[in-house]
Structure 1
Amino acid sequence: MATQGFSNDKSNQQTSVKCETLERGPKRKYNRKSKTDEKAKAMIDQMINEQTNEQIIEPTNRQIIEEKYDERIHDLIDLEGDLQTRISNQQLAYRLEKNRDDNIFLEMIQPIAELYMQEKDSKTIIERVKDAMINTVNYTKIGQQEGKKQQITGKLIDLSLMDEDNLCVVDIDIHKDKSIEEIDKLRQNLIDSLSPNVGLVKTAHGGLHIYCNRNYYRLPSNRNIKVAVTDSFDIDVFAQMTKYKIENGQETKEIVQNRVVAPNTAIRETKNNQRITLKYEAVNDWENVSHFASLREILDKWNIDIEMSYKDYAQQRHDRIYGVQINDEGTIEQMNDELAQTCVDGLKNLDIHNYPQPINMEVSLLGIFCGLYGISNESIVAEGMKNIRQFNKLSTNVDKNYGQVSSNGERKPNPWILTKILRYHNKDYYEQIIQPLFKKNYEAKKKEKQILINQILIPNKIDLTDDFILLDMQEKAANGEYENEEQIVMDLTKLLIYYEGETEDIYVIKVYDAICDTQALYHKLEGTVYKQLEKININFKNKKIDEKDNSKPITVKHIFKKFASKFVKKGCQFISDDPKILTVFQGYKYKKLDTIDYECLQMYFDLIKETIAACDEQVYEYILNQMAWLIQNPGKKSRAAIVLQGRQGIGKNRLTDVIAELTSRYSCSNITNIDEFTGRFNSIVENKMFAVLNEMMNQNDSKKGVATVMKSIISDLTIRINEMNQPRRTAENVMNIVYVTNADMPVFFGH
């Protein structure tokens, strides 16, 4: 047994851990009842427990990170130096304290994140932006318009067109009042302060574009202008924080322009009455730079902090989903009484001022009046008016102008102003009370919309003459042709229904039958249908895509389950006038002719009369009448079977092939296995109005049993279907049978 002692790093110097390693000795055979074995086992268990207890003392990874993080903050506060240094250290300590939880979490997941980012960062900048580049024309920063022939003079990079949102551009705008020498020197000083793994572009006026990675730095917006201003230059930061335009706090389907000028782009300006050409030029090997430095690293060097806290970022995302109060028609939603009362209850302990300022700065009396007058319930409005004076602190000018401001507020009613007031000036109340109500109302409106859609959505009928099948739906989904869920539902109702079975729901789906070259209906189990629907991923046309969304893609299965009521039927029959019952028979493959060419049919008639009926007029008429009756009465049984017996090659199957083709979709032209017909798995007989039993001998040990089943199939009006991987069910028996054989004793029917 080897023993090793060690201590951890300085953050935990007082804790020592003793590790014991057990070396495996030679194998020995122990009897289960051996006392020696029991002692050895007990000794090993004791040592393992001791080792575990000792290791529990060691602090967790999070504790170590927290201790080091807090130690860094205290060191910054306690550091001595001149006034400027102490102020700078205190500012940095404040930022570290403000983002403490976020930074600790990021540090904990940093090893995993670094591995992910290393793989992602292996792409060069040109590989990352190649699909987001737009031609500029005529020496301007204007993008080329489709269909117009214009002189191409450069490129723009639209960050919103990129598949990823990690690329970031820091724009150093050096003031134009500097001389060329001063501009060049400033630019070089900035370059010298940067890490080598950044993309550098000299701008047209001598400034600098620095390409780096955002690495989850939460910028307030796409284009952050003048995040730092000096006497010599300004700093802007561009990134893809929002891919789509925001209107009334909600993302639209329109991509927002977010462009920066790429290197090797020329522009022209007029200076001193002369046209001059300026150019954006790569400073380093811009195209091939990869593994970029992070934006945080660059801004920290310059002591710039513009990052949103994670809480504010999450709040922004929440408000965009649940806080939007403008409807599809563009009008403001009416606030319901529950939310209105809650807002009025929150108007307490506020400092109310007279002159209107931005809501995030202070509460104005006009803002409160505008909000209260937007409430439709008069009793709630009256209570709100009372609360203004009773529970809040009013400035002197508020009392003087109370009446005038009240009348002004009545002219601009908007109840949702109250929620903004509470968001900025009664934050705890807003987060604990108002936000859950927003979410509740959002879900209620979503449910109401779903109910309305269900009411107005009229499902299609399954049409076997229509070539549309699941494959077509899959192609439409893959090509992004669907704009909304309703379009998917309408297409799916052309293909699928279900109804209640004896033990489980029975699904019927339209498929293409390659043998008959027509559409047919197949019964399937729920699980089988779901597997098919899960394979169709939905890519809505013009849909916003969140690259950070790791949730599973929406499939047709999700939409089917959401709108399941549009697919349900009472049952399934071969023919029914009830619209709530699926009708299997939907006409024949061939259409009825207006005129008949008897000469064309004469050869077929001769076959029936001379060969099949052996010139027996009575048999000939019977066969013709039976064929006509079958076609004219779909879904009915004659309860009799024709047996065609004769030598091979005389044309028996020629007769049946024509009938089978005429009744295509509802026929089986060649059944040779008795088990398919009378055995355990017999779905072949369902919804078939015509079947040909070809040389189906029943010379086996259970002739009488087969004969009994055959009698049932020929005469009974219902049949029990029991097929593998299909739901068990009772179905209509509409089958009419022709038995074709060369045998002397083709079939045995006992008494």
Structure 2
Amino acid sequence: MATEEFSKDKSNQQTNVKCETFEKGPKRKYTRKSKTDEKAKAMIDQMINEQTNEQTIEPSQRDIIEEKHDQHISEQRNYHGGTDKEQDERSYLVYRLEKNRDDNIFLEIMKPIAELYMQEQDSKTIIERVKDAMINTVNYTKIRQQEGKKQQITGKLIDLSLIDEDNLCFVDIDIHKDKPIEEIDKIRQNLVDSLPPNVGLVKTAHGGLHIYCNKNYYQLPSNRNVKVAVTDSFDIDVFAQMTKYKIENGQETKEIVQNRVVAPNTSIRETKNNQRVTLKYEAINDWKNVSHLASLREILDKWNIDIEMSYKDQAQQQHDRIYGVQINDDGAIEQMNDELAQACVDGLKNLEIYNYPQPINMEVSLLSIFCGLYGISNESIRLKGMKNVRQFNKLSPNADKNYGQASSNGERKPNPWILTKILRYHNKDYYEQIIKPLLKKNYEAKKKEKQVLVNQTLIPNKIDLQDGFTLLDMQEKAANGEYENEEQIVMDLTRLLVYYEGETEDIYAIKGYDAICDTQVLYHKLEGTVYKQLEEININFKNKKTEEKTDDKKESKPLTAKHIFKKYASKFAKKGCKFISEDPKILTVFQGYKYKKLDSIDYECLQMYLDLVKETIAAGDERVYEYIHNWIAWMIQNPGKKSRAAIVLQGRKGIGKNRFTDVIAELTSRYSCPNITNIDEFTG
């Protein structure tokens, strides 16, 4: 039976096949342009010759395919149900089917040949497929060995451009290195548990995961698809050989595009905590001998990730895609809630469902429907969905015939998120109006839940005036992309900033450097001033895009520290401010003195000051001299308390009054002002 590929616009599919119509006589001519190797071409020639020889005895396969294809066109033309829009789309579909008739028929004839070739390639083990594409690395780096040089070989790279077929691909999961080893291991194991069994698995040097699988005609945007999905715990990249040669000015050159992945048993060295450490890529399973690999589509569908689109589509849907990814930070697949599950079931109407499992973006297959329905945890919703399949949709004869078998197969591969993908491609209006808002709602709920969890578990830092970290340091870290997530920004902000309720508006206490006193101090400012400072800190996350977009129609704005502060404002709130307080909810201004107590005293260093106090300030009076010493000592030893005694100095200019008070002001420099000699300095 002609596949539903006939019912999709071939112009939207990239193909390397060019054909001319076969003659119905004993001889056939064809032209084709294929990137398969010489062996594949020989197989094609042999099978066409065999088919030609058999034509004298029985009807040609082409005649059968032509008849079924024409029957499919006739069915589409004679079907008049649906809305005006659906009828218009059906008319255009008939036009495309007729226009591409010969090309589609040729592809259907070639399909068994291509499948035979793919089966032969698929039966090879991974090591058989990559053995001629492995390059030595040297000196514990990812740098290839140079010819003619004696260097220590410490591993291998696999260059996809050197493999004689283009079906092998890699999924690279980069688990963030800042997490504890135990958490990295747990995330990696959860990811492994979600994968089909027939994949090659390699643990990367930093605990991530390489997954070896087959591309199987999955149309990737490029050779190296970086960060196709991003979570707070890991990023997902996909590498494959989509183009072998470099393109310049729209033309293919002879320059090969290097596309390399680190192979197992490769060691690299890095500097960690000022020490050189050796890290290794290790096979998790029997990597070398795995064959008949699972498809990339099967893996990505489990996570509800779809990157099979043009660059234009990718740019348009990049913002929406974050709503659809349903793989949690710990690597487990998320369960679908009842509201979304019910909406998906309600949308499974007026679909044409076929038996043969084609890619979802091409057609709806019975298997994909059942995989989605069996993934729904609510039994009543699931049963309603099963009932809707036949009641509200049009099944092809083969789909109707194999209904029971497809149901059984779908039960073994449950994944409810496939339903959202089906609706996105085949019930677009319903998806945009119903499903997409629910996905967004689900996404926002997860964000809120995560933020609540962060607020519950994140323990803010205290402002430490002994710590030299300032807003300028934070600005430099943000500009250099040193932050990996919002929590790290919050933790740094709590080192600098708190706010508390004032008489008329909130007061913000922000740490800063006082150049006159050469120390860190607390500045008390109003909201507008602080927000202006925070807006100047643009966030460049290490692993993510950093744009704030609260509405689909609004333009993206650069993410700033102000946005993070407002989002986690509860972590900065204090109920008041005191010079000294034991209450952790009250901001304590006093945090020790600029100078530390010494183990030994150098009286010779102090002698000039002691002489000034005794001879000038105390006027030689021993009792006054001792009182002044005790007065200064009590003030230093009892910060925040009042001695209820003040010293008033009177005397002619230049005798040392300011010198006496300068020392006291320097000792208490964070909490005192230098001498005021002009009333304007006091009153403003």
After TM superposition, the score normalised by the length of structure 1 is 0.50
Matched, 1:649 2:654: yes
Letter in 2 for 1:528: T
Question: Are the equivalent residues in 1 in contact too, given 2:229–2:236 (CA < 8 A)?
Answer: no
The alignment partner of 1:644 has SS state of coil
CA shift, 1:505, in A, is 1.1
Indicate the residue corresponding to 2:448 in structure 1.
447
Distance 1:663 1:310, change over 3 A: closer
Measured in 2, the distance between the counterparts of 1:594 and 1:260 equals 72
CA shift, 1:526, in A, is 1.5
Question: Are the equivalent residues in 1 in contact too, given 2:135–2:145 (CA < 8 A)?
Answer: no
The alignment partner of 2:540 has SS state of coil
Distance 1:465 1:667, change over 3 A: same
Distance 1:595 1:355, change over 3 A: same
Structure number with greater CO (CA < 8 Å, separation at least 6) is 2
Measured in 2, the distance between the counterparts of 1:426 and 1:345 equals 11
Indicate the residue corresponding to 2:557 in structure 1.
552
Indicate the residue corresponding to 1:728 in structure 2.
none
Distance 1:255 1:552, change over 3 A: farther
Measured in 1, the distance between the counterparts of 2:466 and 2:405 equals 73
1:312-354 Cα deviation digits (max 9, x unpaired):
6677435522222222222221111001111111222334444
2:146 to 147, 150, 162: 150
Question: Are the equivalent residues in 2 in contact too, given 1:419–1:434 (CA < 8 A)?
Answer: yes
Indicate the residue corresponding to 1:574 in structure 2.
579
Measured in 2, the distance between the counterparts of 1:266 and 1:315 equals 31
Letter in 2 for 1:422: L
Question: Are the equivalent residues in 1 in contact too, given 2:546–2:559 (CA < 8 A)?
Answer: no
Indicate the residue corresponding to 2:502 in structure 1.
501
Letter in 2 for 1:324: V
Question: Are the equivalent residues in 1 in contact too, given 2:137–2:143 (CA < 8 A)?
Answer: no
1:415-442 Cα deviation digits (max 9, x unpaired):
1222233233333322322122122212
Measured in 2, the distance between the counterparts of 1:452 and 1:331 equals 18
Unaligned runs of 5+ in 2: 1-94, 101-133, 149-215, 257-307, 548-553
Distance 1:238 1:333, change over 3 A: closer
Indicate the residue corresponding to 1:626 in structure 2.
631
Q: Whose Rg is larger?
A: 1
Letter in 2 for 1:246: V
Measured in 1, the distance between the counterparts of 2:370 and 2:247 equals 51
Measured in 1, the distance between the counterparts of 2:425 and 2:479 equals 45
Indicate the residue corresponding to 1:703 in structure 2.
none
Which has the larger displacement, 308-317 or 415-424?
308-317
Matched, 1:341 2:342: yes
1:280-311 Cα deviation digits (max 9, x unpaired):
xxxxxxxxxxxxxxxxxxxxxxxxxxx98999
Indicate the residue corresponding to 1:659 in structure 2.
664
Letter in 1 for 2:584: P
Question: Are the equivalent residues in 1 in contact too, given 2:354–2:396 (CA < 8 A)?
Answer: yes
Question: Are the equivalent residues in 2 in contact too, given 1:253–1:542 (CA < 8 A)?
Answer: no
Which has the larger displacement, 258-267 or 601-610?
258-267
Indicate the residue corresponding to 1:386 in structure 2.
387
Counterparts of residues 518-557 of structure 1 (less than 5 Å) = 518-544=519-545, 551-557=556-562
Distance 1:661 1:410, change over 3 A: same
Measured in 2, the distance between the counterparts of 1:413 and 1:149 equals 46
Question: Are the equivalent residues in 1 in contact too, given 2:594–2:667 (CA < 8 A)?
Answer: yes
Letter in 2 for 1:652: K
CA shift, 1:389, in A, is 3.2
Question: Are the equivalent residues in 2 in contact too, given 1:370–1:412 (CA < 8 A)?
Answer: yes
Matched, 1:614 2:619: yes
Question: Are the equivalent residues in 2 in contact too, given 1:248–1:326 (CA < 8 A)?
Answer: no
Indicate the residue corresponding to 2:433 in structure 1.
432
Distance 1:241 1:320, change over 3 A: farther
1:506-564 Cα deviation digits (max 9, x unpaired):
11111111111111111112121122222222222244589xx9743222222222222
Indicate the residue corresponding to 1:357 in structure 2.
358
Distance 1:585 1:353, change over 3 A: same
Measured in 1, the distance between the counterparts of 2:231 and 2:611 equals 81
Measured in 1, the distance between the counterparts of 2:230 and 2:499 equals 43
Measured in 2, the distance between the counterparts of 1:633 and 1:460 equals 26
Indicate the residue corresponding to 1:590 in structure 2.
595
Identity of aligned residues (%): 76
Letter in 1 for 2:345: V
Question: Are the equivalent residues in 1 in contact too, given 2:593–2:667 (CA < 8 A)?
Answer: yes
Measured in 2, the distance between the counterparts of 1:341 and 1:620 equals 87
The alignment partner of 1:499 has SS state of strand
Counterparts of residues 450-489 of structure 1 (less than 5 Å) = 450-489=451-490
Measured in 2, the distance between the counterparts of 1:376 and 1:308 equals 31
Measured in 2, the distance between the counterparts of 1:471 and 1:404 equals 65
Distance 1:143 1:240, change over 3 A: farther
Question: Are the equivalent residues in 1 in contact too, given 2:224–2:237 (CA < 8 A)?
Answer: no
Measured in 1, the distance between the counterparts of 2:222 and 2:365 equals 35
RMSD across aligned C-alpha pairs, in angstroms? Answer: 4.2
Measured in 2, the distance between the counterparts of 1:492 and 1:313 equals 35
Measured in 2, the distance between the counterparts of 1:375 and 1:523 equals 55
Measured in 2, the distance between the counterparts of 1:607 and 1:248 equals 68
Distance 1:586 1:356, change over 3 A: same
Measured in 1, the distance between the counterparts of 2:540 and 2:244 equals 26
Measured in 2, the distance between the counterparts of 1:240 and 1:366 equals 29
Which has the larger displacement, 456-465 or 481-490?
481-490
Measured in 1, the distance between the counterparts of 2:431 and 2:667 equals 72
- Aligned residue pairs: how many? 426
1:249-275 Cα deviation digits (max 9, x unpaired):
9995759688854899889xxxxxxxx
Measured in 2, the distance between the counterparts of 1:249 and 1:552 equals 21
Counterparts of residues 404-419 of structure 1 (less than 5 Å) = 404-419=405-420
Counterparts of residues 52-201 of structure 1 (less than 5 Å) = 150=146
Distance 1:315 1:478, change over 3 A: closer
The alignment partner of 2:558 has SS state of coil
Indicate the residue corresponding to 2:516 in structure 1.
515
Matched, 1:246 2:251: no
Measured in 1, the distance between the counterparts of 2:632 and 2:323 equals 67
Which has the larger displacement, 633-642 or 393-402?
393-402
Question: Are the equivalent residues in 1 in contact too, given 2:349–2:393 (CA < 8 A)?
Answer: yes
Indicate the residue corresponding to 1:669 in structure 2.
674
1:360-417 Cα deviation digits (max 9, x unpaired):
4443333222221111111111222222333334445555544443332221111122
Distance 1:576 1:242, change over 3 A: same
Distance 1:320 1:249, change over 3 A: farther
Letter in 2 for 1:646: G
Distance 1:471 1:355, change over 3 A: closer
Question: Are the equivalent residues in 1 in contact too, given 2:482–2:542 (CA < 8 A)?
Answer: yes
Measured in 2, the distance between the counterparts of 1:585 and 1:450 equals 32
Indicate the residue corresponding to 1:330 in structure 2.
331
Measured in 2, the distance between the counterparts of 1:619 and 1:143 equals 81
Distance 1:673 1:150, change over 3 A: same
Letter in 2 for 1:618: R
Distance 1:413 1:240, change over 3 A: closer
Measured in 2, the distance between the counterparts of 1:647 and 1:431 equals 86
Letter in 2 for 1:640: A
Counterparts of residues 189-338 of structure 1 (less than 5 Å) = 244-246=226-228, 252=235, 260-261=245-246, 316-317=317-318, 319-338=320-339
Distance 1:254 1:406, change over 3 A: closer
Measured in 1, the distance between the counterparts of 2:245 and 2:395 equals 49
Measured in 2, the distance between the counterparts of 1:564 and 1:402 equals 56
Measured in 2, the distance between the counterparts of 1:450 and 1:150 equals 50
Question: Are the equivalent residues in 1 in contact too, given 2:351–2:394 (CA < 8 A)?
Answer: yes
